[in-house]
A and B are shown apart, each in its own frame.
Chain A
Amino acid sequence: MIRKQLLIITLSALLAVAGPVAAIAAQVELLNVSYDPTRELYQDFNAAFAKHWKKKAGEDVVIKQSHGGAGKQARAVIDGLEADVVTLALAYDIDEIHSKAGLIPENWQKRLPHNSSPYTSTIVFLVRKGNPKKIKDWNDLVKPDIKVITPNPKTSGGARWNYLAAWAYALKQKGGNEAKAKEFVTKLFKNVPVLDSGARGSTTTFVQRGLGDVLLAWENEAFLAVNELGKDKFEIVVPSLSILAEPPVTVIDKVVDKHRTRKVAEEYLKYLYTPEGQEIAAKNYYRPIDKKVAAKYAKTFTKVKLITIDDVFGGWQKAQKKHFADGGTFDQIYTPSK
């Protein structure tokens, strides 16, 4: 008796979910798997693109979003999360989708302009109002009484940019070399009291929990924190040198072919490059690559000397192997010194 009832309950519950799913299937669906700080950007962009696609193709498009640390997100795609497009923090994680799962061709980054990065960003400092610890540049971060908040470079794309920017700064100082850079970064990470797994976690730690004197953050993330949580609480400090962060995007070929969504997925990414898309990116504090839009928002973004990963580190594959792989320099920082 009871078993039968339970069976009926279970079956009707199953039907209850299956129902709406079938109804939705009449329209196009895209899944965009992205990293932590792009939540606001894609909220705006998805709404704009849905309108654009309706006008262009007369079809309703629903864009689902998934956010998390870049490593976690790429791992999920490799394990079978059927993302039509990925918009991650750095090229290495997308490379892994090629090498570990073969879901995209090796030359994926050549398929869209500008290394497949429709917007760029950089790493800045977020400090408490009035900058009580007088933090101006990277070398202030290694002073003994400074607490620095950054996520874990092993799991967060943003944190890898942070780490490499610090490394590049030390390298570019007078008499800078690899050994000195390593020493500098080691000292810096001695000042880090918490390593969250993603950029958002770190911002929460700094902003809400009031931990640390300075947060190393994506430029857009820093702007967002200032705007959302009060200009009277935080200030942005732009260091003398930082790194040009290029968060790349790509369609996942195997998935879009299976879902038959290649056309809309490709259009989605191309729309990022249009003036409308660029405008949305700029409004969300990503540096636009379109010259006109960039000129319009020139006031927002402080001019800063930016080095690139290709120039200083010879590309992501090399940087990843040397710094973030098991036993790499980041692990060595945490090996107990005797």
Chain B
Amino acid sequence: MHVTGALKIKKGQKGGGGLAEPALVRWLLIAVALAFLGLFLVVPLAAVFTQALDKGVDAYFAALREPDALSAIKLTLLTAAISVPLNLIFGVVAAWAISKFDFPGKSFLITLIDLPFSVSPVISGLIYVLLFGLQGWAGPWLSAHDIKILFAVPGIVLATIFVTFPFVARELIPLMEAQGKDEEEAAMVLGASGLQTFFRVTFPNIRWGVLYGVILCNARAMGEFGAVSVVSGHVRGYTNTIPLHVEILYNEYNYAAAFAVASLLALLALVTLVVKTVAEWKIQEETM
């Protein structure tokens, strides 16, 4: 399944290609496809960097060094540093249970794991307002005990965990299913312990999938806007993440700075794509 842009696992030789269209048709199709990709992907990507450097390189770095920008970067790194490992652990554990065993209700469980992916980010934020808001379930109790969740770092982290919940799991489940369980069973028969089997046998097979799952999860965690916007409270220098800081700069006629900060996220996206491409090569190499 490709819910989160799973790695392509190519099996053996490429099929097809035996017949070809006339050169004219071929080039026409290529031209249309590239024009479409250019219009929707290349142009916007180029625009981010052009706009960011609109006022020169000095202005670009000044925008990144500004205290509110630094605190937004720090908060974003912190949020990712907490939510990604938690979802990684979950992803590996869930993938083990789902791919190595058969049990009733499995596909229902998978659907539930997918749910945060298709729930609108606005709703993801809203549910935490309902839970932890002063008018919500736990709000009055939390307030009485002076525990801040909503409009503070924990709320932002929770909302981020929610929206990035399926990423690692969805990456690993198809990968581990494809690999079957023969190798693990053999290891067990030879007397390895469960954890040994996992770290010596399973993990080397899935490490590129894990890496890509983690980096995709990380990109989303750092870039989440809708859900975080609902729970943040927008206190400058305290509860603004990078995407929220971008929005603020954008609303302050500070377009060059907005795009400068946005370009950090765009760079992160490009790194994500590179890692993905490398991971795909490696998996192909190893399965051949």
Residues of chain A whose beta carbon lies under 8 Å from any beta carbon of chain B? 1, 3, 6, 9-10, 13-14, 16-17, 31, 36, 39, 64-68, 76, 78-82, 100-101, 198, 200-201, 203-204, 207-208, 225, 228-229, 258
Contact = CB atoms under 8 A, between A and B. Distances in A.
Interface in B173-195: none
Contacts of A31: 235
Nearest to A203: B253
Interface string B240-281: 000000001011110100000000000000000000000000
A17 B235 contact: no
A80 B237 contact: no
B236 interface: yes
B117 interface: no
Q: Contact residue range for chain B?
A: 20 to 34
A136 B234 CA distance: 38
Nearest to B239: A66
Given A64-B238, A80-B143, 8 more contacts: A9-B81, A9-B85, A10-B85, A17-B153, A39-B252, A79-B136, A79-B139, A101-B134
Of the candidates B81, B235, B236, the one having the most CB atoms from chain A within 10 angstroms of its own CB is B235
Nearest to B254: A228
B150 A16 contact: no
B146 interface: yes
B94 interface: no
A82 B148 contact: yes
6 contacts: A6-B85, A65-B236, A79-B129, A80-B150, A80-B151, A201-B251
B72 interface: no
B121 interface: no
B199 A1 contact: yes
A169 to B, nearest CB: 29
Given A76-B151, A204-B251, A66 B234 contact: yes
B208 interface: no
B135 A79 contact: yes
A117 B235 CA distance: 23
Contacts of B82: 10, 13-14
Contacts of A80: 132-134, 139, 142-143, 150-151
Given A13-B81, A64-B235, A65-B235, A204 B129 contact: no
Contact of B237 (A10, A64, A76): A64
Contact of A64 (B139, B150, B199, B236): B236
Interface string B95-139: 000000000000000000000000000000000010011111001
B34 interface: no
B89 interface: yes
Interface string B147-162: 0101101000000000
A17, A36, A201, A207: residue with the most chain B Cβ atoms closer than 10 Å: A17
Contacts of B234: 66-68, 76
A48 to B, nearest CB: 18
A106 B79 CA distance: 39
Nearest to A6: B85
B233 interface: yes
Q: Which 3 A-B pairs have the closest CB atoms?
A: A80-B134, A79-B133, A200-B251
B153 A66 contact: no
Contacts of B29: none
B78 A79 contact: no
A300 B81 CA distance: 51
A6 B134 contact: no
B219 interface: no
A80 B89 CA distance: 32
A200 B235 contact: no
B88 interface: yes
Nearest to A12: B81
B165 to A, nearest CB: 17
B153 A79 contact: no
A218 B255 CA distance: 22
A200 B150 CA distance: 25
Nearest to B250: A204
Contact of A228 (B78, B148, B233, B253): B253
A100 B135 CA distance: 8
Given A1-B199, A17-B78, A64-B238, A78 B253 contact: no
B250 A6 contact: no
A72 to B, nearest CB: 8
A332 B110 CA distance: 45
A1 B148 CA distance: 32
A78 B235 CA distance: 15
Contacts of B238: 64
A81 B251 contact: no
B253 A204 contact: yes
A14 B146 CA distance: 18
A79 B199 contact: no
A308 B126 CA distance: 37
A67 B237 CA distance: 12
Contacts of A203: 253
Contact of B233 (A17, A76, A100, A101): A76
Contacts of B135: 78-79, 100-101
Most buried by A among B135, B248, B251: B251
Interface string B24-45: 0000000000000000000000
Contact of B88 (A6, A201, A258): A6
Contacts of B81: 9-10, 13
B107 to A, nearest CB: 28
A9 B86 CA distance: 11
A81 B89 contact: no
